[in-house]
Every structure is written in structure tokens, then in C-alpha cells.
Structure 1
Amino acid sequence: MTSPEPLVEIWRGALLECVHQGHAVICDDTGQIVKAWGDPAAVIYPRSSCKMIQGLPLLSSGAADKYGLNSEHLALACASHNGAAIHTERVRKWLDQLGLDDDALRCGPQEPGDRPAFEAMIRAGEQPCQVHNNCSGKHTGFLTVTAHMAAGPDYHEIDHPVQQAVLNAFEDVTGSDIAGYGIDGCSAPNFATTVHGLARAMAWFASARRRSDRQSAAAVQLTRAMLAHPELVAGEGRSCTALMRAMKGKVAVKTGADGVFTGILPELGLGIALKITDGATRASECAITAILAGLGAISARDPVARTYCNAPVVNRRGMTVGEIRPAGPLTRPI
């Protein structure tokens, strides 16, 4: 087994204070590895970085067409959103369309990450609901498939037809059997795969427009929805939204908890997956930005790129005291 490689360094003054190690893979549209760091065979939980895979049955089952879903619904199905009004209002309307309410969700309540929404909730003396959960769009997508299948309400259970459809899609696009599953923060199963398998899935999404099967057509729609609505996929102040905006609708990226990040590059037919082994978000954001810059998807000098990669470490007085930057392996040409 190959060990994880140093991917991100944190400097404070002249001292290398911290090193984040990880694994990363770039795959082409044949599933072959173009470039790898660390161990491509490392088994990981993709966490929320794979929500577009979990969204495939929403389209391939016919549920999206049956309920007249548009690109905003599909973007929310792929989202880890901030719980801002633009997110929760749309999720509530979607639930209304299904004849359901907050109680039908199985993701659990979560305080909104959007500060104005959170402060308004405090002023009103309200408690967070499940629609505020960052995964509520994905779960409403699951409920839509559940309604289409006329299946039972506990759509989050591993033996439910919805999760079995997700499992089948997951194995199809990663090109391998799953390596078990864990329960995610939102209570849905999260299927384990290798970093290579996850990158292969992203390359499959990237090249989907070249194919004509039903599953590929679903992938095209989900990717286009993410690119059209980056503000729904995450929200203001979030790296997914900022990076997709900066790349002007050409690349879809998605973060996941505990240091995972994925990228879909349709113009190049490439997919990216990475995992920072200590789970640090600052490192996964830096690493994905460095890889995207290396592929020419974004300029390393772009202000958004500089927010995450070769970014200043600023103290509470506004002083620049260090830098977050890619480590040696990520600074070499791709």
C-alpha cells in the first residue's frame, strides 16, 4: 500500500507549522488514472462529495419528470447548503409539491450555517428544523423517488428501494463493488469506495454527454444543474460556490466532510477525487484548488483561487502571519 503524501503545508513566519497528507486521483473518461498522489486504492467514505451519484435515481427512475422538477431542484439534490432562505424556501415548496412536510424528512435538524438565517431564528425564538439541514435537498430528492416508487417512509434505511437504487448507481459509476457503508451525518448510508473509484465516477459524469443511455442523461442534467446554480449547491462564503462561479460554469466541484473533495471537468473529460487523511477542510480546499489550477481550470492568480491556495493566514488583528499552500507533490506539473 502506498502511504498518503504531503499535499498541503501551513507556514507561520519562516516555520513549517503543519503538514496535511492525503490521497488524490485524476481520472480520464476511460477510468484510467491520469495522475495520482498517495494511494489510489485507499478506501474512503466520499461523504457529501458524492451527492450527485446519490441523485442519479431521482432522474433515471422517472421521478423527476413525474413531479416536474427543474434545475433548481436538481442542484438542491446535490447540495450541502447553508440553510439560507434561498435554500429552505425552495425545499419547503418542494415538500409541499409532494404533499409532505418537515416531519417526512429523516436528516435531522441542524442550525443554519447562513448567519442571517441563524440570527433571524434566534430573534424569533425558533428552533432549527430538518429543512435547515445541509442535506435537506438530497433527502427531499429521496422522498421524491420514494413517492414515485410508492415505497415506505423510511427511505434512509439500507434495505429501502431508494438506497438500493443508489447502491446500484454507485457501483455502476465507480466501476467496482462497494467496500461497505457507514451512516452519514444526515442518517443516509454512505458507501465506501477507493479514491480511484470516486475519481472514476467523476470522470464518468464529466464524459456523460458523449453517451446516450438513461443514466448518463441523468448525469448530464445533474452536472448542468450544479453549474447553473452554484449558490444552491453550497452558499455564500463557501468554497464550492465560489470556485464554480470563478470557473464560469465549466467545472463542478463538491466538498464532503472530513477532507473529501471531488471535481467534474466536462470539457476535459476528467474527474478528480481527493481525501485529506486528517479530515481538514482548509487542506482539501487548498488541494482541490491547486489541482484545478494545474489543469488550467482556474488561474492560480485568480482572487478566488488565492482564497484557498497560497492563501494568507490572517490573525484576529488582520495581520498576515503565514500561508496555506500546496506541498511539493502538488506544485509539480500535472
Structure 2
Amino acid sequence: MTQVNEGAVDLVQAIRGDMVESVHRGHAVICDGTGAVVEAWGNPAAMIYPRSSCKMVQALPLLESGAGRDLTTAQLALACASHQGQAEHTDAVAAWLSDLGLGEADLRCGAHMPYSEVARDGLIKTDESPCQLHNNCSGKHAGFLTLSQHLGGGPDYVEPDHPVQIAVRRAFEEVTGMESPGYGIDGCSAPNFATRLDGLGRAMGLFAAARAGRGARQDAMAKLAQAMGAEPLLVAGDGRACTDLMRAMDGKVAVKTGAEAVFVAIIPELDRGIALKIVDGETRAAEATIAALLVRLGVLSAEAPVAKRLMHGPITNCRSKVTGHYEVTLD
């Protein structure tokens, strides 16, 4: 098994003054609509956990089974989301659970403070504690619960031997084109199946080439990617790279981050998928690299404010004084 650091290349530099202060190394692939790698940096065979970047893959059984046939575009976006815990997110997940005849206690994702500063400050001011609705994965878990009801599964839907996770693993291995060597438990308690970086890229390429009317798998892929592009706020939240990037590309491209510096993109108009992993797990480097790759493919303007912010900075201090910048190296 190829370790994540083997064959990594320099992708992002942090510059302070006239000196390179930090270097972030990693791997990236661009795949076509058949899943074949057409460009690569570093080692495509690096074994990774996709973390939350693969939520659209985890949502495939929700649609393919028929469990999600009546779900709205907003609900499908939430099923793929790592959200901020804003009211737009928590209210929508609560309503979804209510439609199922369930509540917050039926979730198995755990509670954490919302990532949104506004939502977090609101809880602190009212002396309320966060609940599982605030968990950034609560939308994905609402999708799991929807599928579990359809399959007649028990309440502990995050267990690896539960029918929900068996269905997720099957879909994951089919679209990545390889048997997963195992899983780790994600921050939200669900299993996260390992794959090679080019396997994740293959999946994104297949999503990009999917068109409605070509069978249940392609119907599901196309619908999920379109939902993400149509509801960028629900996929992440105000100020987040995923939301800002999708807005800058008018929803024509679906992008999704994952913990420990994984990022993917689905580009239907080019039949291209992107997957990348930064070895040191640094989010700023993953965001810089995905923006640069989107610019390279011509779907994101280099002049877009989000592109400039993610690829270049500037880096500022507490007095808003510019102290440095980023440089992405894809040559």
C-alpha cells in the first residue's frame, strides 16, 4: 500500500517577506469522464481517506434505492454538505427529520459548536448548548436515516455492518474502481473508506460525465452534482471556500472539501473530475490548489476574488498588515 507521503511534490509555498517560510506537498489528479487520469502531480496511487470530500458518493444509495425520490434539491445538497451550522442548515435538517417522524436524538453524528461565528455567538449569548443539528455532517446523517428507514435498518446506521454502510461501501468501491483496503471512523462516527487518490478522481470523473436518463447510477450522480451547484450555501456556508467557489462558477461546477486537506471537483461541461490531497493536512494549501486547478481548466477566472484570495492571499496580521502571500506550483 502506497503511503500518503510517498512521491508527494511541492504544490503550495507560503512566502513571508522575500523568503519561502513553508512548503505544502501533495498529490493531485484530473480524470476524464471514463475515470482515466489525464494529468497528475505527485503520486496518483497514494492511499487516502477521502473524508467529507466523498459525501456525494455516500449519498448515491439514497437515490439509487428510491429512498430519496421525493427529496428536494436543498435536501440533496444537505446530504452532500459539511455545513456551518447556520440557521439555514439546522432548520432545514430539523424539518427533514420531522418529515421522517424523527428528531435530533435519532442522529448519530454527535454535537459540536457551529462553525458559523454568528450561530456560535448566538448560542453563547443565550447560554444554550450545541446539539447534533449543528454538526457539520447532520445533513449527510439525515440522508442516512432516510435510507435506513427505506431499508428497514436499525437505529445505529453508522455501524460498518449496518445495511446503510454496506450499501455505501458497495457504491464507493464501484465508482472508485477498486476494493477498499479498509476504513477509518470519521469525525461524525460513520466509516470512511480508504481508496487511492486516482480512485477518488475516477469517481469524480464519472460524476462529471453522468447524464440524466442513462440509468439509476448516472441519474443519481447528475442529480447530486446539480443539487450541490444549485445550493452552494447549503453545501458549506457563508465565507467557506466551497460555497464561494461554486458561486463564482455560477453553480456549473460542484466542489467539496474534506478534513485533512482533501478536495474534489466535478466539472460536467468538460467531463472532468479533480481530486487532491495535501500531505500535511493543511486546509489553506488544499484550497489554493483546487482553485489553481479550476483556473487551469478554464472554469474559474483567475481574476475572481475567491481565486485571488485562495491562490495568493494576501496573508495579513492582526493589524491587517500584509505579511506574505501564497504561490501555487503546478508546473
- Alignment TM class, shorter chain as reference: over 0.9
Distance, in Å, in 1 between the alignment partners of 2:118 and 2:240 is 15
Equivalence for 2:104? 102
**Aligned counterpart, 2:323:** 321
1:221 maps to 2:220: no
| Residue 143 (structure 2) aligns with | 141
Whether contact under 8 Å (2:14, 2:327) holds in the other structure is yes
Q: Which of 60, 68, 88 lines up with 1:64 in the alignment?
A: 68
Which of residues 123, 126, 133 is equivalent to 1:124?
A: 126
Among 47, 50, 59, which residue is 1:43 paired with? 47
Aligned pairs for 1:240-255 (under 5 A) are: 240-255=242-257
**Equivalent residue in structure 1 for 2:34, among 30, 35, 45:** 30
What SS does structure 1 have at the residue aligned with 2:218? helix
Q: Which residue of 1 aligns with 2:17?
A: 13
- Kept in 2, the 8 Å contact 1:43–1:179? The answer is no
Seq. identity, %: 57
Q: C-alpha distance in 2, partners of 1:302/1:74?
A: 27
1:65-84 matches, cutoff 5 A? 65=69, 68-84=70-86
Is this contact kept in 1: 2:212–2:222, CA < 8 A? no
When residues 210 and 86 of structure 1 are mapped into structure 2, their CA distance, relative to the original with a 3 A threshold, is: closer
1:310 deviates by: 1.6
For 2:309 and 2:87, how far apart are their aligned partners in 1?
25
**Are the equivalent residues in 1 in contact too, given 2:212–2:219 (CA < 8 A)?**
no
Q: CA deviation at 1:96?
A: 0.3
Deviations 1:244-283 (A, max 9, x none): 0001111110000001000000000000000000000000
Query: Any unmatched runs of 5+ in structure 2?
Result: none
- Structure 2 distance, partners of 1:310, 1:13, is 14
Deviation at 1:210, TM superposition (A): 6.9
Following TM superposition, by how much is the alpha carbon of 1:46 offset from its aligned partner in structure 2, in angstroms? 0.2
**2:291 aligned partner:** 289
Instruction: Using the TM superposition, give the Cα deviation of residue 321 of structure 1 relative to its aligned residue in structure 2, in angstroms.
Output: 1.2
Map of 2:188 onto structure 1: 186
* 1:262 counterpart = 2:264: yes
Q: Which residue of 1 aligns with 2:234?
A: 232
Amino acid at match of 1:278: D
Letter in 2 for 1:8: V
Name the CA distance, whole Å, in 2 between partners of 1:50 and 1:91: 20
Deviations 1:5-64 (A, max 9, x none): 000000001000000000100000122111000100000000000000000111011111
Q: CA deviation at 1:315?
A: 1.1
1:35 alignment partner, SS class: strand
Q: Distance in 1 between matches of 2:213 and 2:21?
A: 47
The DSSP-based 3-state class of the residue aligned with 1:82 is: coil
Look up the SS of the partner of 2:270 in the other structure. Answer: coil
Select which of 185, 198, 201 maps to 2:200: 198
Alpha-carbon shift at residue 311 of structure 1 (Å) = 1.7
What runs of 5+ residues in structure 1 fail to find an aligned partner?
A: none
**Whole-Å Cα distance in 1 between the matches of residues 180 and 266 of structure 2?**
21
**Does the 8 A contact of 2:78 with 2:235 survive in 1?**
yes
Counterpart CA distance in 1 for 2:154 and 2:206 is: 31
Aligned to 1:308: 310
Q: State the secondary structure of the residue aligned to 1:168.
A: helix
Q: Which moved more, 1:282-291 or 1:302-311?
A: 302-311
Structure 1 residue 229: deviation in Å? 0.2
Deviation by residue 1:176-233 (Cα, 9 ceiling, x = unmatched): 1112100000000000000000000000000011761101101111011000000000
* More off after superposition, 39-48 vs 119-128: 119-128
Which amino acid is 2:206 matched to? W
Residue 273 of structure 1 corresponds to which residue in structure 2? 275
Cα 1:211/1:34, change in 2 over 3 Å: farther
Moved over 3 A (4+): none
**Alpha-carbon distance between aligned partners in 2 of 1:132 and 1:301, rounded to the nearest angstrom:** 34
